[in-house]
């Protein structure tokens, strides 16, 4: 039986060369078992900022502003959240709203120094009051992000809040009408109440 072994076959047999290759790989075979090296890296992008930016773009797309504001660029002003500003610039600044080019404006202080169609702020208390006051009765869609209050901040048209870990928004329709804004049906239908 022993003579049936392949050992006596000539070494230049191509099968042997293959076997040498197998043996080398077999020797190294278990080397791959070293744990899951190079695992996935946490994507630490600000997901809340992405979500809010997406909503702000929807607000721009799906609402209507008075005729006199349909000249020049369509402006979204951001106050208090630089990441949100950067994301809007990166993702949407080359887009148009109707025939207007979209422009993202950064406000360092709690004051609207130039007209913006949408003004988003994460300010609270006096700062927020000051900012809202600076918009007067202009057709500015003031969007806030105050989750803890019992009701929407006075003067805001939209307010982001969290419901079941999801970002949603509430709407003050009276304030929108007062400012001459026409809220789109889609925006209206997705608004939540407390």
Partner 1 sequence: MGCNTMNMHILNRGLSFLGLALLLSVVAIAQPGSTANLIDEAISFAEEGAYDNALMMIEPHLENDAKNDARAWYVAGYAHKGRYKDSAFLHSSTSKTASAERSIAVIQLMKAYELDKNSAFPGAISKLVEEALDYLSKTYMNDVVKGVHGFQMGMDEEVLKHFMEFVKIRNVLSPDENWVREEVELEKNLAKANRILLESIDLNNTSRTQKQEALFEKVVSHYLRAIELDGRDYTARYNLAINLYNRGVSELRSIDHTTSMFELMEIQDICVLLFQEALAPMLAAHNMEKKRMETLKGLMTIYRALSQNEESEKYKNLLEEAIK
Is residue 47 within the footprint of partner 1 (CB under 8 A)? yes
To partner 1, the closest distance from the beta carbon of 4 in angstroms equals 4
Q: Smaller CB distance to partner 1: residue 47 or 151?
A: 47
Q: How far is the CB of 123 from partner 1 (least distance, A)?
A: 17
Tokens representing 49?
A: 């900022």
Contact 77, 116 (CB under 8 A): yes
Looking at the chain, how many residues does it have? 194
Which of 20, 23, 173, 192 is the binder for partner 1 (CB under 8 A)?
23
55 binds partner 1 (CB under 8 A): yes
- DSSP string covering 26-76: HHHGGGG-S---S-PPP----HHHHHHHHHHHHHHHHSB--GGG-SS-EEE
CB of 100 closer than 8 Å to CB of 70: yes
191 binds partner 1 (CB under 8 A): no
193 binds partner 1, rule: CB under 8 A: no
**C-alpha count within 13 angstroms, C-beta hemisphere, residue 183:** 20
Instruction: Tell whether residue 11 is a contact of partner 1 (CB under 8 A).
Output: no
The candidate with the shortest Cα–Cα distance to 123, out of 131, 112, 135, is: 131
Judged by CB under 8 A, the stretch of 6-14, 72-80, 107-115, 127-135 that binds partner 1 is 6-14
Asked if residue 74 binds partner 1 (CB under 8 A), the reply is no
Give CA angle at 112 (111, 117), nearest 5°: 150
Would you tell me which residues interact with partner 1 (CB under 8 A)?
1-6, 8-9, 14-15, 18-19, 22-23, 25-26, 28-30, 32-36, 38-48, 50-51, 54-55, 57-58, 62, 91-92, 95, 147, 162, 164-167, 186-187, 190
């Amino acid at each position: 039986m022993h003579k049936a072994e392949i050992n006596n076959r000539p070494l230049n047999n191509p099968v042997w060369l293959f076997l040498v290759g197998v043996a080398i790989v077999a020797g190294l075979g278990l080397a791959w078992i070293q744990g899951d090296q190079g695992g996935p890296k946490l994507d630490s992008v600000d997901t809340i900022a992405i979500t809010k930016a997406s909503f702000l773009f929807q607000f721009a797309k799906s609402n209507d502003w008075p005729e006199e504001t349909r000249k020049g660029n369509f402006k979204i002003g951001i106050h208090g959240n630089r990441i949100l500003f950067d994301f809007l610039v990166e993702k949407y600044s080359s887009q148009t709203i109707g025939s207007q080019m979209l422009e993202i404006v950064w406000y360092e202080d709690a004051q609207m120094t130039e007209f913006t169609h949408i003004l988003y702020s994460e300010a609270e208390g006096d700062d927020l009051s000051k900012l809202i006051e600076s918009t007067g009765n202009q057709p500015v869609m003031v969007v806030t992000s105050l989750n803890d209050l019992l009701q929407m901040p006075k003067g805001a048209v939209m307010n982001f809040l969290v419901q079941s870990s999801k970002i949603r928004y509430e709407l003050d329709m009276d304030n929108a009408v007062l400012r001459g804004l026409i809220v789109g049906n889609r925006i209206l239908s997705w608004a939540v109440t407390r």
